[in-house]
Amino acid sequence: MEKNMRPLLLLSNDDGVNAKGINELIRTLRPMADLIVVAPDGPRSGFSGAITSEHPLRCTKVKEEEGLTVYQCNGTPVDCVKLALHTLVPRTPDLVLGGINHGDNSSVNVHYSGTMGVVIEGCLKSIPSIGFSLCNHDTDADFSPLLPYVNRIVEEVLKMGLPEGTCLNVNFPDLPQFAGVRICRQTKGVWTNEFAQATHPNGRNYYWMTGNYVNQEPESEDTDHWAMDHGYIAITPTQIDVTAYKLKKEMETWNFNL
């Protein structure tokens, strides 16, 4: 970043440009940085790293003020980041931020999260990237207890950087105050009972996705779920290399000859 230049932050999310979470993120970061927001034009929760190749993408500028430009886009969260970096940003952003998500993205939820899709895309483009999520799905959730920590984490990452190929998944418990910040690993967990069945008036069955999350290691104190269950803000350092190196070594002795 050039001397005397304010940081430029690219913001996106998966709840859509009008969600409270991203607007709270804008509000808290505006004093410290120039912001460009490129977010979906409606809800894209659970869109993971999805990209759109079969339909044309459109972007519309919906706000331009000193230090803040907002676009909405008809694509996925990852499309928003890609399109922003390809064509909308005035220079490479200093950070890519996802959120603040309405709902928890810890544990295995990282694999479904559109918020983390944003963050992983920023990371794939070699930009330090952070996802923020609050463990509360309400459209009018209270984000105010988080905001000082969001600013602090952004400041610290602007100062320290992040190693190539890594990003941060930050999850806040839904509390008025926090016991502190813990650096965590991804909890082992599983979703069960994932569908509710219903019957259409025409007689055909259909299904709504729902489910119960089961923490498979509730006693492990180094996990993101343990941290949140005990009142801490959970920061889970995350990487884009998903190679299973231990299995790679084991499999070198396997035989795949025909």
Residue 191 CA: distances (Å) to CA of 121, 131, 185? 25, 22, 18
Nearest distance in Å: CB 112, a second copy? 5
Q: Which stretch binds a second copy (CB under 8 A): 26-34, 63-71, 127-135, 176-184?
A: 176-184
> Is the distance from CB of 20 to CB of 99 less than 8 angstroms?
no
Count of all residues that appear for the chain in the document: 258
Binding letters toward a second copy, positions 181-220, x by CB under 8 A: x-xxxx-x-xx-xxx-xx-----xxxxxx-----------
- With CB under 8 A as the contact rule, the residue among 31, 65, 160, 176 that binds a second copy is 160
> Is the distance from CB of 26 to CB of 37 less than 8 angstroms?
yes
- Three-state secondary-structure class, residue 5: coil
Tell me: does residue 112 bind a second copy (CB under 8 A): yes
- Please list every residue from 219 through 248 that binds a second copy, using CB under 8 A: 233, 235-248
- Please list every residue from 3 through 32 that binds a second copy, using CB under 8 A: none
DSSP 204-235: -EEEEE--EEEES-TT-TTBHHHHHHTTEEEE
Nearer to a second copy, 63 or 111 (CB): 111
Nearest distance in Å: CB 52, a second copy? 6
Alpha helices in 145-223 (DSSP H): 147-160
- Please list every residue from 53 through 92 that binds a second copy, using CB under 8 A: 53-54, 56-59, 76, 78-79, 82-83, 86-87
Q: Can you tell me the distance from the alpha carbon of 90 to that of 100, in angstroms, rounded to the nearest whole number? A: 24
Q: Can you tell me the distance from the alpha carbon of 87 to that of 255, in angstroms, rounded to the nearest whole number? A: 48
Nearer to a second copy, 42 or 218 (CB): 42
Nearer to a second copy, 34 or 96 (CB): 96
Nearer to a second copy, 67 or 148 (CB): 148
Nearest distance in Å: CB 4, a second copy? 25
Q: Can you tell me the distance from the alpha carbon of 71 to that of 26, in angstroms, rounded to the nearest whole number? A: 13
Total residues in contact with a second copy, by rule CB under 8 A: 83
Tell me: does residue 149 bind a second copy (CB under 8 A): yes
Nearest distance in Å: CB 106, a second copy? 11
Q: Can you tell me the distance from the alpha carbon of 20 to that of 172, in angstroms, rounded to the nearest whole number? A: 16
Q: Can you tell me the distance from the alpha carbon of 203 to that of 175, in angstroms, rounded to the nearest whole number? A: 44
- Please list every residue from 126 through 145 that binds a second copy, using CB under 8 A: 126
